[in-house]
Amino acid sequence: MRFVKLTILYVLSFFAVAWACGHPPLDLSRELPVALSDISVNRSLIGLLPGGANPFSILVGSFLIGSIVAIFLERNRKAVLQNIVFGLIVLHFVFYFFQIAGLISDLDKDFDVSGWRLVKVGHYWSGPENPKILAERIKLILPRSRMKLDFQSDFPTDKDPYFYLGRSLAYHLYPVDIRGVRSGISDGCLFLDVYGLPGVIPSEYKTVLFLEKGVAVALKEDMALRR
Amino acid sequence: MFVPFFYSLLFPFVLGYVCVAGVFPKLSECLKLGLSYGFGMGVIATWVFLLGSVNVLPLIWPVMNIPLCAVACVLFWKCLSNVNARSVDIQRQFSGLEWSLLIFIVVNFMLVFFVATAYSVYGWDAIATVVFKSKVFFFERSFEFNQNLPHASYPFHVSLMYFWIAANFSQWNDTVIKIVQPCFYGSLLLLLYGVLRNFISRTYALLGVGLLVSSAFPLFHATVAYTDLILSYYMCGALWILILGFNQNKPKFFLISGLFAALACFVKYEGLIGMGVMLLLYGSSLIRSRLKSVFFKEHIRNLVALCGPAIALYFYFTFFKSAYGVPMGEPGRTVLVLSSHLVANMIYMLRLNVINFTISANWGGNFYIFFLVCFAQFYVVRREMSFALRCGGLCILFFIAAQVALFIFTPALSLVGRNIYEPMSRLILQYFPLIPFTSAIALEQIFLKNGSS
């Protein structure tokens, strides 16, 4: 019973502190998940709430207030310590529930749960410039599944986001090799946003795919004839 | 489609389980289950590596799987003879709190499994190196072009696991290969629970697992094709089994610990940090005289069990690299440097560590709980710290020191520059499961008047 009371105390103090910061419970339940949903493979960041408040400051504030009340309620030193530790665990789980709610709502944007399918392919599936889709289009026009192409681009492919674009395109195209994995002579060239594109394609190459954004695939004559 | 899927999903479990249960029949079921997937996948990846290094990958399916199935059958037979030795962890009914924690853990795990298998491979390292390598191995059926791949000299345990899954399907599928990640995550949870049950009661063991599950960053990493969570499983597994070996005075456990450490080194170079921490822990336990009654000869045997597998694998990997013309290290990355700003860099790294522990959303309130229970343990409870708690705390300190040293004595700091904060989260993830492990043990000491162990 003591721990049930403590749970209620700390949860209430969490919402009370948030309210004092200008975030009533209903608003908080909408805003906090959004602020905590910024997660990537390298870190999970805490976003600020609309008024500029940091969710961690609410967490710390509610822990302090809840602990002060818990200290007044209990005189036994060891029990006080237990109450404080328990309160921190409760707040940790409250924080996590908001965070996971944010992650699930973020997931919901990409995934149609009822239909069990991806509805927004752009973000997760393809990355910038949709390399997955581009790779599939290129593969369709190539005469063989295993080929080696040179890769030319005006994009600075040693800097993000083009660094990712180049690597992602290479990954999705494989076994069409544009990263020089296999040794030997190349069968053609892939041009990605190259300025003055038709002019830079060597004369011994035949263009087999030309897209709007200066994307082209040119193969050596003998290879192009096999299509 | 379903047969290869279930085969890929279950065979590593079965293989690992019969290996562990065949050699250590008296381990608890949770511990066996927790070790199974990692051990099975370790055996599979090492076997594929051995086959690939002698160029028999073209015959992959029968050559790779039939000997493994034979080993599994033989060990299964041995397990059947030991069936009476099994122990069951359900001695009493679950309380309401335990049911709540269990449901919380299971629901989160299901979410992880769903997300991991819903999205295709994405993320920088996955696309550029880890999964790209396995895709090349899959289509080329050879390690011949390894020297042309990105980070050619890096260990590729995880790439080989993805390769094995794809080989079972006989086609490349960006989504299916990721079933490895939630399986390792589930194994990590089971392993943590199994190890904690040896030190504390069921409620606190479940609470420890609940604390790990309620950290967003490990949960997220269980859904992407990155190596850090797998490394974390092997490194923390090696350390936990070592602590268990000390605690139960069973040097036989050191062999599992050594095997896990070897697999950690084969996942990533950072596995060497885990190896170093393991040796430091062994050394400090000698100083604390846990093994003072052990003769010198036995110490040598223990050290061989701990380091032997990693050294053997390292030598074979070095031989492989020289045979395939792969550089021994990454030029400009895997070298030792002595910076003139030693102290400044050290303070900078420690500060970043503290920031990451406290004001990131990676770990929720886990580090706050950890610091609070440490404070309570030292200054308020003042009961003698249990052995497992001391070991857990020491490991965390060793890891922080080793990772700070990593940035001071290698070019990593200058390579990463201002973005240092970002890879740091992944470095912390590698030892993070030790935090809920230590917290759970300390929590029982704080909440129970007569804490066990």
DSSP code per residue over A99-110: HHHHHHHHHHHH
Question: Least CB-CB distance to A92: which of B108, B149, B365?
Answer: B365
In which element (H, E) is residue B371 found? helix B366-375
Residue that wins the pLDDT comparison between A205 and B422: A205
- Write out residues 138-197 of B within 8 Å (CB-CB) of A: 139-140, 145, 148-150
Contacts of B134 in chain A (CB under 8 A): none
- Write out residues 57-116 of A within 8 Å (CB-CB) of B: 59, 77-78, 81-82, 84-86, 88-89, 91-93, 95-96, 99-100, 103-104, 107, 110-111
A118 to chain B, any CB pair closer than 8 A? The answer is yes
Q: What is the pLDDT of residues A83-97, one digit of tens each?
A: 899 999 999 999 999
Contacts of A111 in chain B (CB under 8 A): 118
By the 8 A CB rule, do B243 and B196 touch? Answer: no
Residue that wins the pLDDT comparison between B319 and A2: B319
* Residue A176 DSSP SS3: strand
Q: Inter-chain contact B132–A171, Cβ cutoff 8 Å?
A: yes
Contacts of A170 in chain B (CB under 8 A): 132
B224 to chain A, any CB pair closer than 8 A? The answer is yes
- The alpha carbon of residue B232 is apart from the nearest alpha carbon of chain A, in Å, by 15
By the 8 A CB rule, do A180 and B147 touch? Answer: no
| pLDDT tens for each residue of chain B, 453 residues long | 778 888 888 889 989 998 888 888 888 888 999 999 999 999 999 999 998 888 877 666 777 777 777 777 777 777 666 655 445 555 668 888 899 999 999 999 999 998 888 888 888 889 889 999 999 999 988 888 888 888 888 898 999 999 999 988 888 988 889 999 999 999 999 999 999 999 999 999 999 999 999 999 999 999 999 999 999 999 999 999 999 988 887 878 899 999 999 999 999 988 999 999 999 998 887 776 655 566 777 888 888 989 999 999 989 998 888 888 888 777 666 667 766 677 888 888 888 888 888 888 889 889 999 999 988 887 766 667 788 888 999 999 999 998 888 878 877 776 665 566 667 888 899 999 999 999 999 999 888 754 443
Q: What is the pLDDT of residues A140-178, one digit of tens each?
A: 889 888 999 999 888 887 777 778 888 888 999 989 999
Contacts of A182 in chain B (CB under 8 A): 140, 145, 148
By the 8 A CB rule, do B194 and B34 touch? Answer: yes
**What per-residue confidence (pLDDT) applies to A45?**
81
Contacts of A86 in chain B (CB under 8 A): 447
**What per-residue confidence (pLDDT) applies to A2?**
81
The pTM score is 0.91
Question: Least CB-CB distance to A42: which of B120, B131, B423?
Answer: B423
Residue A120, pLDDT > 70, answer: no
**What per-residue confidence (pLDDT) applies to A117?**
54
Q: Find all residues with CB under 8 Å of A20, minimum gap 6, and list them.
A: none
- The alpha carbon of residue A179 is apart from the nearest alpha carbon of chain B, in Å, by 8
Q: Distance (Å, rounded) from C-alpha B153 to C-alpha A150? A: 24
Distances (CA, A) of B415 to A161, B153, B395, B420, B423: 18, 18, 27, 9, 11
Question: Least CB-CB distance to B123: which of A36, A41, A82?
Answer: A41
Confidence of residue A40 (pLDDT cuts 50, 70, 90): confident
Helix, strand and coil percent figures for chain A, each rounded to 5: 55, 15, 30
Question: Least CB-CB distance to A43: which of B150, B364, B425?
Answer: B425
Question: Least CB-CB distance to B119: which of A41, A124, A171?
Answer: A124
Q: What is the pLDDT of residues A42-68, one digit of tens each?
A: 888 888 888 888 888 899 999 999 999
Q: Inter-chain contact B422–A183, Cβ cutoff 8 Å?
A: no
Instruction: Over range A124-135, report the average pLDDT.
Output: 63
**What per-residue confidence (pLDDT) applies to B398?**
93
Residue A213, pLDDT > 90, answer: no
